[in-house]
Amino acid sequence: QKEVEQNSGPLSVPEGAIASLNCTYSDRGSQSFFWYRQYSGKSPELIMFIYSNGDKEDGRFTAQLNKASQYVSLLIRDSQPSDSATYLCAVNYWTSYDKVIFGPGTSLSVIP
Amino acid sequence: SAVISQKPSRDICQRGTSLTIQCQVDSQVTMMFWYRQQPGQSLTLIATANQGSEATYESGFVIDKFPISRPNLTFSTLTVSNMSPEDSSIYLCSVLITPGQALYTFGSGTRLTVV
């Protein structure tokens, strides 16, 4: 059973702080890792993807991947109230084609 | 990237009836995916739809309950059959936008309420 787990929420941070979201996965063969943001009542929106160990930065977002520990994280610097959403970690696994499974999500609330 | 139009955006249905959800993509894609998101939950893959072949269902989902059509490379439908209140969920269509990189985009979803 391939699983993706995320730190339980909800997570509350003050505006301007760093929000840290964590995710672990069970399939050592996974090669692609994603973070989606989902606002209430909306569909998921891809915000970051990472394939190699280390850090990947895009604006205020940094994704970190450690395949040996089967761990991926998302840091949001200078958090804004507009970052308040549910963040879904997703991991690919290969059968006869790429499939993606999602973690349960972490709800983030940025307090002004 | 691909733009997905999904219809209807929401519906309220009587138990025992069926609803067909449509997914239209503005470009040809090999694979389309149908997800379910139950209230307060994450996304669960229902099935993968390839053009010209039968859909591949995930564990816990069966064709009789969720028949899927994929008549061409830009269109798919998902039918939720013989609905019960437990089928109340958001149903999402997704396509692979970058093969080899497993990057996906989602339609706007169909919010289904069964009464």
- Facing residue for B31 by CB, picked from A43, A88, A97: A97
Residue A29, pLDDT score: 86
Q: Minimal CA–CA distance to B31: which of A98, A46, A78?
A: A98
Residue B83, pLDDT score: 97
Residue range B57-76: mean pLDDT, rounded: 94
Query: Computed over its alpha carbons, how large is the radius of gyration of chain A?
Result: 14
DSSP letters of chain A? Answer: ---EEE--S-EEEETTS-EEEEEEES-TT---EEEEEE-TTS--EEEEEE-SSEEEEETTEEEEEETTTTEEEEEESS--GGG-EEEEEEEEEESSSEEEEE---EEEEEE-
pLDDT tens-digit map of B3-54: 899 999 999 999 999 999 999 999 988 889 999 999 888 899 999 998 878 8
B101: pLDDT strictly greater than 90: no
Residue B50, pLDDT score: 84
Strands B56-57 and B43-50: antiparallel
Residue B79, pLDDT score: 98
Token pair listed for B15: 């138990």
* Segments in chain A below pLDDT 70: 1
Top residue of A51, A93, A100, A101 to mutate, by most chain B CBs within 10 Å, is A100
Residue B40, pLDDT score: 85
